[in-house]
Amino acid sequence: MADWISFWDSTHSIYVNARHREVHYAKIAEEISHYVPSRRASVLDYGCGEALHADIVAAVSGRLILCEAAPKVREALARRFAGNPKIEVRSPEQAGELREHSLDLVVMHSVAQYMPAAELDALLSLFRRLLAPGGLLVLGDILAPNVSAVTDAAALLRFAAANGFFAAAVFGLARTALSDYWRLRSNLGLSRYGEADMIAKLKAAGFAAQRAPKNIGHNGARMTFLGRPSPT
């Protein structure tokens, strides 16, 4: 996953313009906030990216931990939310040091596709250890075997048309086809899971799991899964 972390830590063109970046993170934050169980909840957003609107999630939580592997992104997060006492920023290594059963909600959105299967298994075991007995794991943006780059592009164009950046999205898709992102995606591939496969993977990690009615974010062709710790 190191190549992907380096990509996300660089100046890249995944977001076609500032409007795309803004509405992307606002939508994700709004939809994550619906999973927060109470205003006292301790929440971990693992692989949060730039999380521009993490304050939306923090507003309905007691504590929000933003975990990001890319150093420059993590530093920017720490600066952005330095004045919010509910938000703390951690590296993956620091997240692994959290107290067992101390979290009410763990979210990992649009990260699993960049991870080898064994690395995802290790993370699921970590999340199982960190979640309280009644806690919830939300695993978003899972890429199914039949979801193509064309499907992803169409979803982006629909999102762009609804949010006022369609022309920029058309240009941005052409630019992405020539970018480091596409080179990495072509060379490394993306991890894909069918619904039954992901439910089995979560079960093996100690979760009772199901597919959510809709995916977090703009791409309805991808999947979100919900897992609760199974009794030991």
Question: How high is the pLDDT of residue 182?
Answer: 67
Are the CB atoms for 47 and 69 separated by under 8 Å?
yes
pLDDT tens for each residue of 56-110: 999 999 999 999 999 999 999 999 999 999 999 999 999 999 999 999 999 999 9
Q: What angle separates helix 149-163 from helix 18-33, to the nearest 10 degrees?
A: 100
* Selection from 8, 7, 90, 2 nearest residue 49 by Cα: 8
Q: What angle do CA 215, 46, 52 make, to 5 degrees?
A: 75
pLDDT tens for each residue of 179-215: 777 677 777 778 999 999 999 999 999 999 999 999 9
Which residues fall within 8 angstroms of residue 46, CB to CB, at 6 or more apart?
67, 92, 95, 106, 107, 108, 111, 123, 127
pLDDT tens for each residue of 103-156: 999 999 999 999 999 999 999 999 999 999 999 999 999 999 998 889 999 999
* Selection from 8, 57, 66 nearest residue 33 by Cα: 57
**Residue 178 in this model has a pLDDT that exceeds 70:** no
Element (H, E) at 123: helix 117-130
pTM for this model (two decimals): 0.94
**Beta carbons within 10 angstroms of residue 146's beta carbon:** 9
Structural domains of the chain sorted by starting position, each given as residue range(s) with its CATH number in brackets: 2-229 (3.40.50.150)
- Quickly tell me which residue has 């899964």 as its tokens: 225
Query: What amino acid occupies position 161?
Result: A
The token pair at 134 is 């009644």
d(CA 107, CA 139): 6
Are the CB atoms for 77 and 50 separated by under 8 Å?
yes
Are the CB atoms for 67 and 47 separated by under 8 Å?
yes
| CA-based torsion, 220, 224, 54, 58: positive or negative | positive
The token pair at 93 is 């290594």
Diameter of the chain measured on Cα atoms: 53
Task: Name the band, by pLDDT with cuts 50, 70 and 90, for residue 172.
Answer: confident
Q: What angle separates helix 117-130 from helix 195-204, to the nearest 10 degrees?
A: 50
